[in-house]
Structure 1
Amino acid sequence: MDTPDQLQAASAFEGRYRLLVDAVSDYAIFMLDPEGRIASWNYGAQRTKGYQEAEILGQHFSVFYTEADKQAELPKRALDTAASEGRFESEGWRVRKDGSHFWANVVIDPILAPSGELIGYAKVTRDLTERKQAEAALARSEHQFRLLVQGVTDYAIYMLDPEGFVSSWNQGAQRIKGYTPEEIIGQHFSRFYTEEDRAKGEPDRGLSIARATGRFEREGYRQRKDGSLFVAHVVIDAIHSDDGTLLGFAKITRDITKPRETQKALEQAREALFQSQKMESLGQLTGGIAHDFNNLLMVILGSLNIAARHLRDDPKATRLLKNAIKGAQRGVSLTQRMLAFSRSQELHPEVLEIPALVHGMAEMLQRALGPQIHIETRFSMSLNPIMADPNQLELALLNLMVNARDAMPNGGDIILAANNELVTSESAMALKPGQYVRLSVIDTGEGMDEETLSKARDPFFTTKGPGEGTGLGLSMAHGMAEQLGGRLHLTSCKGQGTTAELWLPINKRELSENQTNDFTQNRQTEETENNEKNERIDSLKVLVVDDDSLVLFSVTAMLEDLGHRVVNAESAKEACEILKQDSAVDLVITDHAMPQMTGMELAELLHRERPELPLILASGYTDQLTLPGYLPKLSKPFSQEELKDALHEALAG
């Protein structure tokens, strides 16, 4: 039997224990009798469940359960488990006094008397609603993230374990690499690499870098299930736990084949634009130089021709002058090539039959190419006529065939072929849809490698030795073809010869019945007739307008040598003043490219004021200038015979 002191001490301890339990606010701690009725109630229970002690004491603890749990007899099972097993613990939804639910962690312990008799239960309940909500939010977030990753189709997003074996697989990975999840999960990611990269240890190197630095990023070729290759941008990130343990790797792969091709095409377009701008600038420079050079050549040729006429009795001087004239004429040919390259050489298109043109050139071609070259022609029987400048086409054809000859130093065959071609859509050669004649020069010579072929049409580029070529032959042919709306196309392989194709638009008008196919004879006949008519021109008073004093002097000398009187003007303004004071001027020859007022503007002004006054426009190039019918064109440099022809044309109206 306990002594009074022991009873007093026990009572004091129980009081302190009750104060402790009542002070706890985060846990609902209360007692149940053996039948489950509430026998005690602390402050934490009141705060958590909403009941005052007076309201809840004596009530059965099942009042805290949901209706579904009560129907399932969960309260009874909880007490039975605690009584039989010594403890019951679970989590679930519980009900507060106001009917709201909260997520609770519940622990029930049986209370036994010293004799072992069950005298009640101790029940501890904790409100875990916030944790439950956080877990639910996390679960939703993880679910949404999985849906997001699975829904991404432009990126292959998947996980690797620490050894590099695939542990997850999204739709993008399946689309890009071709494997289903069942086929690839559990397989090593190295199978996406090429055989060469696997042999070099690239997969392991990528994981090693990611493991050491936390990240690996590269671009390279990867292999799909079907064996095809694609260009991939790859990122591998190392995934660690909170304690630093490597859990695996997150791998993201993007197929950048199309963007890479687009970037490459953009770079090629930029390079083409740069090349085009460079060629345009070079063309403008070349055209300007050639125009100025034409003026100098005209002075030289005019002076030499006049000197030759006055030194006919001196054979030695005559030979020297003829040699000088030939040299100057070669200079004229060079300027024509330069102007053709710069698109500044005025073309005079005519209706041409290619077989007739080639037949007229046959003797000259064979003489130029030499006896070691055999020329074979292969022309379509129904070849369409074309519109082209015969002189420029002959020069272009001669250049192409000379190049073919030079590619066969030991001789060989050159095939000259022509066929009708129909272009239905804009082709790789930038030809507009329409009908063309493809004139081909085919040799079996040394051929060109890719680098040489890419530069072949560039001006002044030549593989020939010093003094053997100007590098303007192909660029001149290219410029002529483009001016006509066609194209020069080259194909070649080293050691397999070269094919040069001139694509020229056909003539869309029918040939008139009285046109002759022998253009060489036609031009000779016209020249003879014109020369006969020019002999009958009486002495004229001619106004010559040019801002170049050397050209002015040369033209004056040629006109005076022909028996005409000449008045000079160095500008259009000065010419107008002279014409106001001198009404006896019979004809005006004016340069086109002059400052302040061009020759074309001067001619238009004079035509309005004195329409009966014959006019001639002299110029090295007109840059696509369209001349009115009353204004004949005299191309610089011109000879004395060409000047006579122009005089006759102007006087004939």
Structure 2
Amino acid sequence: MNIEASKIYGELTDEQSFRLLVTSVSDYAIYMLNPAGFINSWNTGAQRFNGYVASEIIGQHFSVFYTEEDRASGKPARALNTAATEGKFEDEGWRVRKDGTRFWASVVVDPIRTANGRLIGFAKITRDISERKAAEDALRESEDRFRLLVQGVTDYAIFMISPTGEITNWNSGAERIKGYSHEEVVGTHFSRFYTEGDRARNMPAQTLAIAAKEGRFEQEGWRVRKDGTLFWAHVVVDAIYDDAGKHVGFAKVTRDITERKQAAEALERANAALFQSQKMEALGKLTGGVAHDFNNLLQVIGGNLQLLAQDVAGMVKPERRVRNALAGVARGAKLAAQLLAFGRRQPLEPKVVNLGHFLRGLDDMLRRALGDGIEIETVVSGDLWNTLVDPFQVEHAILNLAINARDAMDGRGHLTIETGNASLDDAYVARNPEASVGQFVMIAVTDTGSGIPADVLTHVLEPFFTTKAEGQGTGLGLSMVYGFVRQSGGHLQIYSEVGHGTTVRLYLPRVMQEEDLVGEMHSGPITGGTETVLVAEDDEEVRKTVIELLLDLGYRVLKAKDATAALAIIESGAPIDLLFTDVVMPGPLRSPDLARKARERLPHLAVLFTSGYTENAVVHAGRLDDGVELLSKPYTREALARKIRHVLRNRQQRAMSHKVLFADVPSSRVAAPDLDAPRVLLVEDDELIRAGTAEMLRNFGLDITEAATGAMALRMLQQQAVDILLVDVGLPDTSGIELSVEACRNYPRLRVIIASGHDVALNAEQRIALPNVAILRKPYDLEDLRRMLGIRS
């Protein structure tokens, strides 16, 4: 305060000084009301807040500053009454300026009394706190929005916990994820959400300690819901401090990521399965290629040894050495076959099989192979479905598994072979990506052996992997089984526990067809011929060997180093009866295309393929293509001789049938059906041979019914009377011999004629079942049929 001001204030009375002070205050409206509420003083602050000058407002009732709503509710009168009775009235609320705008005011009303206590009016102090209210409202709105946000989140559990771990609030996401309501959980310790193992390891306390020390804790792990179920959680815990820096608790955010974890695990399994599949595919291609070259080498060695065997006939030592060498070739051929099986490159000849019937037939063989120390139990489920598999390969697979089991049990233990029906669903396939959804026939081979460690289990299907001592196993047994099952459209699963044995389950696809009847074929003496054979083979040593074998069998031989050269020989017009060609040869022309072009030029040409590895050229979906004849390398002289005679006889029969069908036969020579003539059921799957033979039989005036399969023939036998069954040995769904046995069982007086390009020998049991049987060798002509049927010319 300066000197002049001091002089002025010094000259004023106390009352004048106080009045001057009140009038000068601009941040507060300070004015007096009479007992009835009328304004009788006015200061600068009141004028600034309310907009009225003193001359405009003094004498008016103070309710003019209230909103219409407050005046209607009697709030001004209540304010004065409260101040008079309680000594003070304090309030915050909206007030109205002269221009009609509103402001948020803090109001204090004090009663003014005389010395003897008489009320003479009121002192009213008002402050404009609109800015503070706006800030508070904004803060409150922000807090409300945050509260709504937190409560509205359902995918995250968001809650606060005290410094000692007690839960202080709870959102709807926490309730949804963990299962507890707000009332159930607030005030309890957050460790209730941890597993017993985590609590035993003091993990909840460690979580808070790390969060308090480092400001944050983050982890994934199992958490427990109210109902006791587990879920995989992503957890973040943040330490919370107040404005003064005091630690007041923790904010905890938990998310249920079980589905994400399952998806990640499924992806990991799928990637592992893809890697395994790619590895197996690469190994399969490698082993298939190796097998092809290996079989060519074996063919050269084996073919020359068989030729040498004839040269040393009667010489004891050389004969023994040749036999030993041929045994080595046979072992090599078996090894190559296992490689092809693993690589899913072997040509399968599947049939509809009931594995229950099949297993019973293996019992004696298994007991001989495994020895007396192994107790074998076979369990066959009732109503077992049929499956489409190569019976020889199933037998080989079961034998391999049984021998592996015997070795795991050191020759003493219990082996269980079980069959049953199985339906694999989406859940199983999700866990086992190599499998497919559907119905399967399951074979389980279980031993009581030592079991397989987990780190070894991932490798047991790989070729040449073995846990046996050196020299005691090739490591191809399980890989062969795996390849066969996969090629058959199935799935293999291994379960093992160290010290408790191993179970290998094979799942083979179910088929709805009836079981095939597999007949026993016998071969007669080996014969050669004088026909001309064109050999197409790119491997020079193999070509030389097979040519010498064919020449030794009496055939005339032409040779070509590839398919293009072979086609040139065919187009030259040289007489050729049989094309004997390797499936896999270099050059622009593939062997199947060579065969097609050759038959276009020579319709009656017989074709026989050979290969150690077919590369799917004549094998698709694991089966030989229809009409394809294949001789797998390495083959013996005997196998070559029999296969060539079979193919040539079928070719000659086709040619004869074609000649009959397209001959210009005068109608007078075709006899009308004789009502008293024998009724013949002709069963032949080759359409041209069937049509030609039927035409020959009609020339005799016979009543002919035709069937292409064994199943069709059995239905026809049930529907009509038949006197003679003329049946080919090789039918697509059964053996002609077994079909004949089945037919004669139901119709004992039936005459049977079995036709075949093979040499056929019936065993004693079949001869008893077929008392009226005759063998008709292909190729046959009209006179052969007449003689077989006993018809006079």
| TM-score, normalising length: structure 1 | 0.85
Long gaps (5+) in structure 1: none
Q: Deviations over 1:314-342 (max 9, x none)?
A: 32122111111111111110111111111
Per the alignment, residue 438 of structure 2 pairs with 433
Q: How does 1:22-171 map to 2 (within 5 A)?
A: 26-32=27-33, 36-70=37-71, 74-76=75-77, 78=79, 88-108=89-109, 123-171=124-172
Confirm or deny: 8 A CA contact 1:28 1:125 kept in the other structure. yes
Confirm or deny: 8 A CA contact 2:386 2:513 kept in the other structure. no
Letter in 2 for 1:563: G
Q: Deviations over 1:330-359 (max 9, x none)?
A: 111011111111110001123556577667
The 3 A distance-change label for structure 1 pair 321 and 507 is farther
Long gaps (5+) in structure 2: 1-5, 652-793
Per the alignment, residue 610 of structure 1 pairs with 602
Q: CA deviation at 1:65?
A: 2.1
Q: How does 1:140-289 map to 2 (within 5 A)?
A: 140-289=141-290
**Counterparts of 2:277 and 2:72 in 1: how far apart (Å)?**
88
The 3 A distance-change label for structure 1 pair 497 and 209 is closer
Q: CA deviation at 1:133?
A: 3.1
Q: Deviations over 1:208-248 (max 9, x none)?
A: 22223322222233334444443332222222221212222
Letter in 1 for 2:141: R
Confirm or deny: 8 A CA contact 1:457 1:474 kept in the other structure. yes
Q: CA deviation at 1:296?
A: 1.4
Confirm or deny: 8 A CA contact 1:631 1:650 kept in the other structure. no
Confirm or deny: 8 A CA contact 1:632 1:649 kept in the other structure. no
Which of 525, 529, 543 does residue 534 from structure 2 map onto?
Answer: 543
Confirm or deny: 8 A CA contact 1:441 1:499 kept in the other structure. yes
Q: Deviations over 1:268-315 (max 9, x none)?
A: 222112211211111111111112211111111111111112122432
Comparing 618-627 with 153-162, greater Cα deviation is found at 618-627
**Counterparts of 2:139 and 2:8 in 1: how far apart (Å)?**
54
Per the alignment, residue 423 of structure 1 pairs with 423
**Counterparts of 1:507 and 1:242 in 2: how far apart (Å)?**
76
Per the alignment, residue 570 of structure 1 pairs with 561
**Counterparts of 2:372 and 2:390 in 1: how far apart (Å)?**
29
Per the alignment, residue 463 of structure 1 pairs with 467
The 3 A distance-change label for structure 1 pair 215 and 611 is same
Letter in 2 for 1:593: V
Which of 472, 476, 479 does residue 472 from structure 1 map onto?
Answer: 476
**Counterparts of 2:503 and 2:194 in 1: how far apart (Å)?**
43
Per the alignment, residue 644 of structure 2 pairs with 647
**Counterparts of 1:199 and 1:420 in 2: how far apart (Å)?**
45
Letter in 1 for 2:304: S
* 2:636 corresponds to 1:634: no
The 3 A distance-change label for structure 1 pair 249 and 113 is same
The 3 A distance-change label for structure 1 pair 408 and 194 is closer
Letter in 1 for 2:477: G
**Counterparts of 2:643 and 2:506 in 1: how far apart (Å)?**
32
Per the alignment, residue 613 of structure 2 pairs with 621
Q: Deviations over 1:101-120 (max 9, x none)?
A: 32111244667899999876
The 3 A distance-change label for structure 1 pair 373 and 68 is closer
**Counterparts of 1:266 and 1:353 in 2: how far apart (Å)?**
37
Per the alignment, residue 592 of structure 1 pairs with 583
The 3 A distance-change label for structure 1 pair 363 and 255 is closer
The 3 A distance-change label for structure 1 pair 376 and 6 is closer
**Counterparts of 2:625 and 2:166 in 1: how far apart (Å)?**
82
Which of 428, 445, 461 does residue 449 from structure 2 map onto?
Answer: 445
Instruction: Please give the secondary structure, in 1, of the residue aligned with 2:100.
Output: coil
| TM-score, normalising length: structure 2 | 0.71
Confirm or deny: 8 A CA contact 2:9 2:17 kept in the other structure. no
The 3 A distance-change label for structure 1 pair 307 and 45 is same
Confirm or deny: 8 A CA contact 1:348 1:388 kept in the other structure. yes
**Counterparts of 2:187 and 2:9 in 1: how far apart (Å)?**
71
The 3 A distance-change label for structure 1 pair 51 and 563 is same
Q: Deviations over 1:93-150 (max 9, x none)?
A: 2122243432111244667899999876554322222322332333233233323323
Letter in 2 for 1:172: G
Comparing 338-347 with 274-283, greater Cα deviation is found at 274-283
**Counterparts of 2:562 and 2:207 in 1: how far apart (Å)?**
78
Confirm or deny: 8 A CA contact 2:354 2:515 kept in the other structure. no
**Counterparts of 1:248 and 1:385 in 2: how far apart (Å)?**
68
Letter in 2 for 1:446: S
Letter in 1 for 2:449: G
Comparing 540-549 with 274-283, greater Cα deviation is found at 540-549
Confirm or deny: 8 A CA contact 2:570 2:598 kept in the other structure. no
Letter in 2 for 1:605: K
Letter in 2 for 1:610: L
**Counterparts of 1:232 and 1:181 in 2: how far apart (Å)?**
20
Confirm or deny: 8 A CA contact 2:298 2:634 kept in the other structure. yes
Letter in 2 for 1:613: L
**Counterparts of 2:79 and 2:372 in 1: how far apart (Å)?**
118
Letter in 2 for 1:421: N
**Counterparts of 1:163 and 1:400 in 2: how far apart (Å)?**
61
How many pairs does the alignment contain? 634
Instruction: Please give the secondary structure, in 2, of the residue aligned with 1:179.
Output: coil
Instruction: Please give the secondary structure, in 1, of the residue aligned with 2:344.
Output: coil
**Counterparts of 2:117 and 2:379 in 1: how far apart (Å)?**
123
Letter in 1 for 2:218: E
Identity of aligned residues (%): 49
Per the alignment, residue 776 of structure 2 pairs with none
Which of 553, 576, 589 does residue 544 from structure 2 map onto?
Answer: 553
Instruction: Please give the secondary structure, in 2, of the residue aligned with 1:218.
Output: strand
Instruction: Please give the secondary structure, in 1, of the residue aligned with 2:303.
Output: helix
**Counterparts of 2:198 and 2:450 in 1: how far apart (Å)?**
39
Comparing 202-211 with 37-46, greater Cα deviation is found at 37-46
Per the alignment, residue 733 of structure 2 pairs with none
Confirm or deny: 8 A CA contact 2:453 2:497 kept in the other structure. yes
Q: CA deviation at 1:547?
A: 2.1
Confirm or deny: 8 A CA contact 1:290 1:335 kept in the other structure. yes
Letter in 1 for 2:421: E
**Counterparts of 2:412 and 2:259 in 1: how far apart (Å)?**
48
Letter in 2 for 1:543: L
The 3 A distance-change label for structure 1 pair 6 and 262 is closer
**Counterparts of 1:206 and 1:48 in 2: how far apart (Å)?**
56
Letter in 2 for 1:152: V
The 3 A distance-change label for structure 1 pair 119 and 600 is same
What is the RMSD computed on CA atoms of the aligned residues?
A: 3.7
